[in-house]
Chains A and B, each alone.
Chain A
Amino acid sequence: MRPKPEAPPNAGAVRPTPGELAEPQTTIRVSRDVDFPLSLLPQSLRRGPFREDAFTSVLHEPRTTVVVGRWLGAALVVCFMTGLLSHVLQQPPTWLRDHLPSRPVNGYRVTQGLHVISGIAAIPLLGAKLWAVYPRLFGHKLLGDSHDPRLRKSKLFEWPPVRSVLHALERLGIAVLVSTMLLELFIGLLNILEWYPWPFPFRQTHFWLAWVATGGLLVHVAAKGPMIAQHWRRGSVPGLRQRRAFLGAVTVAAVAVTATTAGQTVPWLRRLTLFAPRRPDLGELGLPVTRTAAQANTTVTPPDWRLRIDGPRPYELTMDQLLALPQSESRLPIACVEGWSASAHWSGVRLRDLLARAGAPPTARVRVTSLEANGPYRVMEMPAAFAQDPLTLLALRVNGRVLTADHGYPARIIAPNRPGVLQTKWVARLEVI
């Protein structure tokens, strides 16, 4: 039950000096969810964004926010789940390590592609959502927010800005949600082009903030539950020409940014690629690279390079001996954490044949060490399911040519359904563990 304010409606016309209260507050019985008419806001604060007519658009209203919020929520959930999966695949916990499947071949390519696609699509959606609810920042009630039809047309303010502990927590929750969302999308967008102008590490920060943002989203949905339910259906409020136009434009914006970037992983969108930091067909031997030989300091292979395989029966192979072994072919994608992916024809020696010759049991994991001196992925561990997959190769050639230094010469790992950083290049040693 909302108390009816007893203040005369034209009280604001008498202009009190700034700092003076426009109305005697004593006429109002303050209960927890009182909504004050604007005229009761202290006159000194009724300026700028606190003016009654500060926001003129009719689209600062619940149905618009619910429709955009649904799309944004869906994008965020996809982004969070795929990101979590990528994190698990890159650093699997011990209990999960031996249960990760090496199929489908394109699994990681699809999920990580979706991660970046949903993140980029979320940029216009987040912009639209935050614009629609922006008047709330200054305490404006969104039009139609009220359940009371008599109040629906009048603009109401929440005053004071914090009315209870729960209300304070809700507002703090909104700040947490908005700030983490903005920063997540920002650093994610820059990470795909390897640009790091901030002082903290990308991967860890992106990971932890994702939990905070998703938690904030859940709290937000809980706080707004009744309002969301009330405006969920199309017929819940009268149709609005401006709303249709706005939602149409936001849809076009989301489609436009997706179509012009997703070609970095979706083959049939390749020709539309305008803004992606990579295109799958551009690079040495028709394949992009993430880490160059110059960056890894592996441009020159030591002349005495030999592949060393450690296990129950350790042995070494020269390049000539490797090339003399039965060569296999695999068509496998490189799928990078930055969201690009490209299929290529690889040929080389099946990893499981090399391991079997060292006396490795089929359940053994393998540790792969690169020639590079440092780098977070210099040493990589591969679970048995991937090591035993017939498609997994110690590749020596790609797309019909000998590997270049940037692609991992003299030898690299290529396995199905694995993040690109685990497709170790410049391999020096395999170790059965």
Chain B
Amino acid sequence: MRTFRVVTALAGTGLIGYGVYGLLHDSYITDPLDVLVWLFGGLLIHDGLWVPVLCALGAGFVRGPVLRGWLIVAAAVTAVALPPLLRDGRNNGNASLLPLPYLRNWLLALAVTAVAAAVTALVSRTRRRG
């Protein structure tokens, strides 16, 4: 285990060093500080805003494993649906880019997963009683 950890840590440090060196010396990346700002900003939004809200909602309002599970699925679906939703219609004059009705699809996905969750809840309740 010790050898594995040392080798992995060294390899990881090497990869990080290579990536940082490349980032700083790439002629296309004129201002690496921009990247740093976005890295830090992402961390701040995720850890300082998104997860606290999630924890507060989860602890305060969400009851039961099925509702919790559906919210996890809904959050994942929304994360993937949001970019096309926000960009709807902006396709750089390319009709084959973003060709789907994303708002309808998003609502459809939420509805289908909600129905599935409701059925799961019903089935488990019936089983517990039976």
Contacts and interface: CB of A to CB of B under 8 A. Distances in A.
SS of B interface (majority): helix
Contacts, number: 229
Contacts of A183: 35, 38-39, 42
A209 B42 CA distance: 14
Interface in B10-35: 11-20, 22-23, 26, 28-29, 31, 34-35
Interface in A21-57: 49, 55-57
Contacts of A254: 76
B19 A253 contact: no
Interface in A163-181: 175-176, 178-180
Interface stretch (A190-198, A306-314, A367-375, A385-393): A190-198
B34 A225 contact: no
Q: Which of B8, B26, B38, B92 has the most CB of A within 10 A?
A: B38
A218 B12 contact: yes
Interface in B91-125: 92-100, 102, 105-106, 108-109, 113
A169 B18 CA distance: 18
A234 to B, nearest CB: 20
B96 A288 contact: yes
Given A127-B75, A201-B28, A273-B100, A182 B42 contact: yes
A200 B70 CA distance: 36
Residue among B11, B39, B77 having the largest count of chain A Cβ atoms under 10 Å = B39
Interface in A142-158: none
B97 A222 contact: no
B83 A189 contact: yes
A217 B94 CA distance: 38
Nearest to A282: B99
Contact of B13 (A198, A207, A219, A275): A219
B34 A198 contact: yes
Interface string A239-258: 00110011011101110110
Contacts of B42: 179, 182-183, 186
User: At the interface, is chain A mostly helix, strand, loop or mixed?
Assistant: helix
Given A131-B51, A260-B80, A275-B105, A124 B72 contact: yes
Interface stretch (A88-96, A106-114, A289-297, A344-352): A289-297
Interface in B73-91: 73, 75-77, 79-81, 83-84, 87, 90
User: Which interface residue of B15, B28, B31 has the most chain A CB atoms within 10 A?
Assistant: B15
B51 A130 contact: yes
Given A212-B20, A219-B8, A225-B4, A127 B76 contact: yes
Best-surrounded residue of A57, A208, A290 (most CB of chain B within 10 A): A208
Contact of A212 (B15, B34, B51, B54): B15
B50 to A, nearest CB: 9
A16 interface: no
Contact of A209 (B9, B23, B79): B23
Interface string A75-103: 00000000000000000000000000000
B12 A222 contact: yes
Contacts of B93: 292, 294-295
Contact of B38 (A127, A176, A198): A198
Nearest to A252: B73
B59 interface: yes
A279 B100 contact: yes
A124 B23 contact: no
B49 interface: no
A227 B31 CA distance: 39
Contact of B35 (A203, A209, A221, A279): A209
Given A274-B81, A277-B84, A289-B94, A200 B35 contact: yes
Contact of B9 (A120, A219, A260): A219
Interface string B29-72: 10100110011101100110001101100110000010011101
A384 B28 CA distance: 30
A277 B92 contact: no
Nearest to A224: B5
28 contacts: A57-B58, A175-B43, A178-B47, A200-B29, A201-B28, A204-B26, A208-B29, A211-B16, A212-B19, A213-B19, A215-B17, A215-B18, A225-B8, A229-B1, A246-B68, A248-B69, A249-B65, A252-B73, A253-B72, A256-B73, A273-B100, A274-B102, A274-B105, A275-B77, A275-B106, A278-B96, A289-B94, A295-B92
The 4 A-B residue pairs with the shortest CB-CB distance, nearest first, are A215-B15, A218-B12, A211-B19, A249-B69
Interface of A: 49, 55-57, 120, 123-124, 127-128, 130-131, 134, 137, 175-176, 178-180, 182-183, 186, 189-190, 193-195, 198-201, 203-205, 207-223, 225-226, 229, 241-242, 245-246, 248-250, 252-254, 256-257, 260-261, 273-279, 282-284, 287-290, 292, 294-295, 406
